[in-house]
Structure 1
Amino acid sequence: MDRRLATERCEACRPGAPRVPTAELPGLLAAVPGWERIDRDGSDRLRRTYRFPDFASALAFTGQVGTLAEAEDHHPTILLRWGQVTITWWTHVIGGLHRNDFIMAAKCDAIYREMAPAGDASPAG
């Protein structure tokens, strides 16, 4: 796994900013294993579900992702359930995927690795 994305900062994204070129998608997806590229309403998105032993742990993770989103000024869709958090990233203003989405996916994985019990740092697929 390439963890360099997690050290990058998001850049301000304005209408008309370029989406990730199709040719670059395989390399970026390989850098965030476990994230799936999905299509919602004609818009490419990244999605991943993380598993936790209880609701409190899932809620704590959600809070940390929220703090990160505010710091980077890039916000996901978050679905919180007992023992699970599903994160979906895409750049609303361009209606698709920007490098920022891959940066934030990598940062979410880093948060999860820090929170996971010893020996269990693999989120659900």
Structure 2
Amino acid sequence: MSKKLSTQQCEACHVDAPKVSDGEFKQLLNQIPDWVPRVRDNVMMLEREYKFKNYKLAWAFANKVSELAEAEFHHPSILLEWGKVTVTWWTHSIGDLHKNDFICAAKTDQLI
């Protein structure tokens, strides 16, 4: 895990893909300190809220996140509001966190 998360690529993920272990979780989360682990519907997720001066800036950021998601073929929940975008990453196919979620969270931070 010495390689910087934002320089890595997502791997194809299937139902039997490995979930992040407890040890990996702590190491990976340390690399994205502004992200908060959340549990919704018994699914662990990573979430971060980004604030902007207006709706147009938030909208532009949400579009960048969408482009990242397509490039990585890994898709988050994106909530666009006036002056705010909330991004939530998790791996749908395993119903939990995979290393891909941490990679995409790190890449999302670079879009600012």
TM-score by length of 2: 0.96
Q: Secondary structure at the match of 2:78?
A: strand
1:12 maps to what in 2? 12
2:54 maps to what in 1? 54
Equivalent residue letter for 1:111:
L
Task: Compute the RMSD of aligned alpha carbons.
Answer: 1.3
Alignment check: 8 A CA contact 1:69 1:75 kept: yes
Q: In structure 1, what is the Cα distance between the partners aligned to 2:99 and 2:3?
A: 14
Q: In structure 2, what is the Cα distance between the partners aligned to 1:110 and 1:6?
A: 8
Within a 5 Å distance, the mapping from 1:68-83 to structure 2 comes to: 68-83=68-83
Equivalent residue letter for 2:6:
A
In the TM superposition, what whole-angstrom CA distance separates every residue of 1:86-113 from its partner, at most 9, and x where no partner exists? Answer: 000000000000000000000000001x
2:87 maps to what in 1? 87
Q: In structure 1, what is the Cα distance between the partners aligned to 2:55 and 2:3?
A: 28
Identity of aligned residues (%): 50
Residue 81 of structure 1, CA deviation: 0.3
Within a 5 Å distance, the mapping from 1:25-40 to structure 2 comes to: 25-40=25-40
Q: In structure 2, what is the Cα distance between the partners aligned to 1:42 and 1:7?
A: 30
Q: In structure 2, what is the Cα distance between the partners aligned to 1:4 and 1:51?
A: 25
Q: In structure 2, what is the Cα distance between the partners aligned to 1:83 and 1:65?
A: 15
Alignment check: 8 A CA contact 1:3 1:106 kept: no
- Residues matched between the structures, number: 111
TM-score by length of 1: 0.86
Q: Secondary structure at the match of 1:32?
A: coil
Residue 24 of structure 1, CA deviation: 1.2
1:64 aligns with 2:68: no
Q: Higher helix fraction: Structure 1 or Structure 2?
A: 1
Residue 3 of structure 1, CA deviation: 8.5
Equivalent residue letter for 1:61:
F
Unaligned runs of 5+ in 1: 113-125
